[in-house]
Structure 1
Amino acid sequence: MALNIPGLIALIVFYAITLAIGIWASWKSKKDQQKGKPSEMVIVGGRNMNFFIGLFTATATWVGGAYINGAAETVYLPTRGLMWVQAPIGFTLSLTIGGLFFVNPMRSKNYLTMMDPLQETYGNMIGSLLFIPSLIGDIFWFAAILASLGATMKVILDIRGYLAIIISACTVILYTLLGGLYSVAYTDVIQLIFITLSLWICVPFALLNTATKSIYYTAAQEFYQAPWIGKVQPEHLARWLDDFLYLVLGSIPWQTYFQRVLSATSARQARLISYFSGLGSFAMAIPSVLIGAVAASTDWNQTSYGLPTPEERGESAMILPLVLHYLCPTYISIGGLGAIAAAVMSSADSALLSASSMFAHNIYRKTLRKKATEREVLWVMRASMVMFGTVAAGLAFYSHSVYDLWFLGGELVYALLFPQLCCVLFIPNTNTYGSAAGFFFGLLLRLLAGEPSLNIPPIIQYPGCSLVDGVYVQLFPFKTFTMLLTLGTIVAVSYLAAFLFKRNLLPHRWDVCSVIKENGAVNGPTSCPPCQIEKISEFTSSGAARES
């Protein structure tokens, strides 16, 4: 296979256009920075984001390279199929739930990041601790989508994957560093349009290829492999539900989501962006599902790819670029490559901005250097973008499965952050002791459950745990179980600590987190002198009716 020169030229043109838009948006943001705080402009766009721009960027955030590649891969796999493609419906429900319950409390308080209410309630030290799973999630997400792009370019352009990863990471870092949310949002618009047009243009050519049977017949009948509709075996139902709940609830506590809704001009507009972006992300999965169905309906021996099949060669993760390359004309596959590159950038820049925003605002300004100037915070944010982007690119070189890495990136966020966020927004009187206990207990449970993709055997073997091809597989819904135990631990320890100190069963001098006032009433953390519990109680009772 020779280097695809036309494809390489087309990709360079696309990258140049994206970078130019990012630079233009950065120029626009610098003009607007004169109207408010520069850091607020970079993180949430001055809370003045146009509705349609906000809708595009919120949708593009979820429609990343791992999303479109993962959907096609799952439909194609004989052991999975359409029944296991949970992300489209999961994300739609997640964004709907976020709009219904989480947008008003966050937007009405004018928070800058998802970590703000956590630090406000539990203090800066615990807030810094809770930043760790969020950082890991963003970096793993960035790495997963970079890896998907590297695999795609290797198939279609015949260039080394590491070159694609390095070039893409450098491009994303550059325009995100220059313009913050403005650059991310405006580049997301062109990227989402390109993804939509390119993938839908590819679908008819793949469906009508002579090597492909009608996907209508292969959905329920076995031709070249098992029917692509798939099925969920009874013994796998609990694991299926666990993964689904993980997608629905675990997709909420991400700064990439709250960055979009917090940038809206009002709480009402933020809710609408959340609802409609859920529908948009669902629609964007349709071409990937069709391409996965085409791959499962193809006699690969009739193509230049030949036998054995991609699944037998262990190349299922690259099934979307393989279909584009072997079942579509060259000029069409080049357009598909552009779609994947656009999808990668649209999510990579969001992950990068998310991690750097929280580090600069919540860790550096609120914890490490409380007297930091705006200029200082901006430079810390830029430096952290370079650092986090470099780490993610390095991890992308060692990624073997797009889908596994994508799931792995959010498990700690689901198990540890979702309960914490629910407690600070909806459950009054939780305190620093409960938060710390829930974090460490939940982390311990998750680590003891093992991780097959990292070859970590489970110490805790839940009911249904079995050895499959030398790897232990947990069929029990342990992710949701861990999340619920974390939530219960936060509430139980918070109320127990308050009870023991209030009843003088423990001396007040042991109350190192100062959750009890001198008169015995429950108090907030030492970093927030006013009574945070009274604030939260008032906030949860009336916040749903308020709009900024």
Structure 2
Amino acid sequence: MALNVPGLIAVIIFYAMTLVTGLWAAWKARRNERNKRQTEVAIVGGRNLNIFVGLFTTTATWVGGAYINGTAEIVYLPTKGLAWVHAPLGFAATFIMGALFFVKPMRSKKYVTMMDPLQETFGDTMGSILFIPPLLGDIFWFASILASLGATVRVILDVNGYLSIIISACTVILYTLLGGLYSVAYTDVIQLLFMLVSLWICVPFALLNSASENIAYTAVHELYQGPWIGNIQPKYIARWLDDLAFLSLGGIAWQTYFQRVLAASSSKQAMVTSYLSGVLCAIMGIPSILIGAVAASTDWNQTSYGLPTPYERDEANMILPLVLQYLCPTYVSVAGLGAIAAAVMSSADSSLLSASSMFAYNIYKKMLRKTASDREVLWVMRLSMVLLGSAGMGLAFLSNSVYDLWFLSGELVYAILFPQLCCALFIPSTNVYGSAAGFFLGFTLRLLGGENSLKIPPALHYPGCILVNDTYIQLFPFKTFTMLVSLTTIIVTSYLARVLFMKKILPIRWDVCNAFQKDPSQHSENELEEQVGLQTT
């Protein structure tokens, strides 16, 4: 296979357009810095993003390379099929529930990041510990989507994937560093439009290829493999619901979502944007579903790819670029590659901005240097972008391994951070003792559940744990169970700690976290009790 020169030129043009858009947005951000704090402009865009830009940047953040590639892969897999595609429905549920329950509480106090209510409720130290799961999640997400782009470029352009990873990472780091949320948001508009148009251009060519059967027929009839519509066996229903709950609720507790919620010009606009983003996310999954269906309906022996099939070659994770390469004309496959590149960059810049924002504002400003100037915080944020982006770029070379790490960190965010955020926003009486207990119990239970992709066998076998091909599969909804246990632990432990200290069962001097006292040397125990509204009995 020779170098695809037209495709390479097209990709270079797309990258140039993205970079120019990002630099223009950076210039726009600098104009707005004159009347507002620099960090507020960089992190939440000065809180004045219009609904159009807000809709596109929110949707583009979720519709990344993992979304469009992963959806096609699951539809194609004979062991899965459409019935196991959770992302479109799960992401739609994320935005709807976010709009219903989380937008107003977050905006009412004018928070800057998702970590603000956590630090406000549980203290700076516990807040810094809670920062670890989303930090790792953002880094691994950045790395995994760059890795998917590298693999796609290798298939379609016959260019070393390492080169595309490096160029993509440097481009994203540059415009995100210069313009913050403005650059990310405005480049997301270009990237989402490019994705929308390019993927739909590819679909008709793939559907009409002579090597593919009618997908309406293969949806329910076995031809080249099992029906691509798939099925859910009764014993797997609990696991299916667990995965859906993980995507629906676990997607809320991410800075990338709240960054856009807090950047909207009003609460009403933020809610409308969230609702519409859910709908658009679901729509953006349709081209990938159709491409996966085409792949499952294709006689690969009639293409230059030949036999064995991608599934038999263990290349199912590359099914979308393979369809573009072998079932579409060259110029169409190039458009598809542009769509994948756009999806990757739209998610990569968001994860980079998310991690650096929380580190600079919540860790550096609130904990390490409380007297830091606005300009100093901005420079720390930029430096962290370079460091975190470089780390993610290095991890991208691990390919599948880093994707597995991202998935595990996402589950930790669901099991640990989501219940913490719920308590901070809706149960303000919870405290640091409950937070710490919920964190460590949730973390322990999730690791004991095992992770097959990382070859971590389960130490805790839940009901229905079965052994398939020397691999244990947990049929019990243990991810959601872990989240609920963590949530219950936070509430119960917080209540017990309050009772033990306020009823003098434990001396107030044992309150090492200062949850019920401001300064023991200046306040009597009775005064401390009055501060929390409890009377000594």
Give the 5 Å matches for 1:3-152: 3-152=3-152
Q: Does 1:370 align with 2:370?
A: yes
Tell me which residue corresponds to 2:284. 284
Q: Alpha carbons of 1:512 and 1:402: their partners in 2 closer, same or farther (altered >3 Å)?
A: closer
Q: C-alpha separation between the residues in 2 aligned to 1:81 and 1:403?
A: 21
8 Å CA contact 2:56–2:192 kept in 1: the answer is yes
Q: Tell me, in whole angstroms, the C-alpha distance in 2 between the residues paired with 1:335 and 1:35.
A: 41
- 2:241 and 2:477 in contact (8 A); partners too: yes
Aligned-pair CA distance for 1:463: 1.6
In structure 2, relative to structure 1, the CA distance for the partners of 1:458 and 1:520 (3 Å cut) is: farther
In structure 2, do the counterparts of structure 1 residues 329 and 110 end up closer, same or farther at CA, with 3 Å as the change threshold? Answer: same
Whether contact under 8 Å (1:98, 1:252) holds in the other structure is: yes
SS class of match (1:222): coil
Matched, 1:164 2:164: yes
Compute the displacement of 1:234 (Å). Answer: 1.5
Give a deviation string over 1:78-113, Cα, whole Å, max 9, x none: 000000100100000110000000000001110000
**Aligned-residue offset at 1:25:** 0.5
Aligned partner of 2:521 in structure 1 is none
- Once the two structures are superposed, the pairs formed by residues 436-451 of structure 1 within 5 Å of their partners are 436-451=436-451
Answer with 385-394 or 495-504: which moved more: 385-394
1:361 paired with 2:361, answer yes
The CA distance in 2 between the partners of 1:148 and 1:102, in whole Å, is 32
| TM superposition shift of 1:188 | 0.3
**Further displaced range: 287-296 or 515-524:** 515-524
The residue type equivalent to 1:440 in the other structure is F
Q: Is contact 1:429–1:522 with CA below 8 Å preserved after alignment? A: no
Is the counterpart of residue 257 in structure 1 residue 257 in structure 2?
A: yes
1:491-527 superposed Cα distances (whole Å, 9 cap, x missing partner): 0100000001111110110011222254558889xxx
Quote the residue 2:520 is aligned against.
Answer: none
Structure 2: which 5+ runs fail to align? 518-523
Task: State the SS of the aligned residue for 1:34.
Answer: coil
Q: Secondary structure of 2:131's match?
A: helix
Residue of structure 2 equivalent to 1:334: 334
Contact 2:140/2:403 (CA < 8 Å) preserved in 1?
no
User: Is 1:502–1:521's contact at 8 Å kept on the other side of the alignment?
Assistant: no
1:244-272 superposed Cα distances (whole Å, 9 cap, x missing partner): 00001000000000000100011111101
Deviations 1:20-67 (A, max 9, x none): 100110011011101110000000000011111111101101000000
| Local SS of the residue matching 2:400 | coil
**Partner in structure 1 of residue 408 of structure 2:** 408
Whole-angstrom CA distance in 2 between matches of 1:175 and 1:467: 48
Q: Return 331-340 or 370-379, whichever deviates more.
A: 370-379
Cα distance change, pair 520–127 in 1 and its aligned pair in 2 (3 A): farther
Deviations 1:97-155 (A, max 9, x none): 00000000001110000000000111100000000001011112112211111111010
Question: Equivalents in 2 of 1:301, 1:93: separation in Å?
Answer: 40
Distance 1:128 1:172 in 2: 26
| Post-superposition CA distance 1:287-344 (Å, at most 9, x none) | 0000000000000000000000000000000000000000000000000000000000
**Corresponding residue SS for 1:497:** helix
Query: What does the per-residue CA deviation read over 1:438-477, in whole Å, with 9 as the maximum and x for residues that have no partner?
Result: 1111111111111111111111111222232232222211
> 1 CA distance for matches of 2:304 and 2:391?
37
- For residues 343-364 of structure 1, the C-alpha deviation after alignment (integer angstroms, 9 at most, x for no partner) is 0001110000000000000000
Contact 1:70 1:402 in 2 (8 A): no
| Equivalent AA in structure 1 for residue 482 of structure 2 | T
Q: Give 1:316-331 correspondences, 5 Å limit.
A: 316-331=316-331
Distance 2:328 2:409 in 1: 33
Task: Return the alpha-carbon distance in structure 1 between the equivalents of residues 528 and 348 of structure 2.
Answer: 42
Instruction: Name the TM-score, length of structure 2 as normaliser.
Output: 0.96
Structure 1 equivalent of residue 482 of structure 2:
482
Aligned counterparts of 1:237 and 1:348: Cα–Cα separation in 2? 33
Instruction: State how far apart, in whole Å, the 1-side matches of 2:463 and 2:491 are.
Output: 26
One-letter amino acid matched to 2:430? T
| Offset, 1:397 | 1.4
Work out the CA distance in 1 between the residues paired with 2:51 and 2:93.
21
Does the aligned pair in 1 maintain the 2:396–2:402 contact within 8 Å?
no
CA distance in 2, matches of 1:181, 1:368: 24
Q: Distance in 1 between matches of 2:405 and 2:203?
A: 27
Query: 1:515–1:523: 8 Å Cα contact kept in structure 2?
Result: no
Shift of residue 405 of structure 1?
A: 5.2
**Equivalent residue for 1:227?**
227
- Kept in 1, the 8 Å contact 2:121–2:428? The answer is no
Whole-Å separation in 1 of the counterparts to 2:401 and 2:231: 22
8 A contact 1:145–1:402 mirrored in 2: no
- Change in 2 beyond 3 A, CA 1:8/1:65: same
Is 2:349 the partner of 1:349? yes
For 2:451 and 2:528, how far apart are their aligned partners in 1? 40
Give how far 1:219 is off: 0.2
SS in 2 for 1:195: helix
What is the Cα deviation at residue 75 of structure 1? 0.2
Q: Per the alignment, do residues 337 and 519 of structure 1 end up closer, same or farther by CA in structure 2, a change over 3 Å counting?
A: same
Structure 2 counterparts to residues 265-280 of structure 1, below 5 A: 265-280=265-280
Q: CA RMSD, aligned part only?
A: 1.6
**Is 1:495 aligned to residue 458 of structure 2?**
no
Q: CA deviation at 1:400?
A: 2.0
Give the count of matched residue pairs: 528
CA contact (8 A) 1:43 1:259 kept: yes
User: In 2, distance between residues paired with 1:413 and 1:326?
Assistant: 38
Alignment match, 1:204: 204
One-letter amino acid matched to 1:31: R
Q: Does 1:308 align with 2:308?
A: yes
The separation in 2 between residues aligned to 1:15 and 1:157, in whole angstroms, is: 15
* Contact 1:502–1:520 under 8 Å retained in 2: no
SS at match of 1:472: strand
Look up the equivalent residue of 2:96 and give its one-letter code.
T
SS at match of 2:45: helix
Residue type at the aligned position of 1:15: Y
Task: Tell me, in whole angstroms, the C-alpha distance in 1 between the residues paired with 2:313 and 2:400.
Answer: 13
Between the aligned partners of 1:88 and 1:370, the Cα distance in structure 2 is 42
Aligned pairs for 1:177-196 (under 5 A) are: 177-196=177-196
Question: Structure 1: how far apart are the matches of 2:282 and 2:528?
Answer: 45
8 Å CA contact 2:502, 2:529 repeated in 1: no
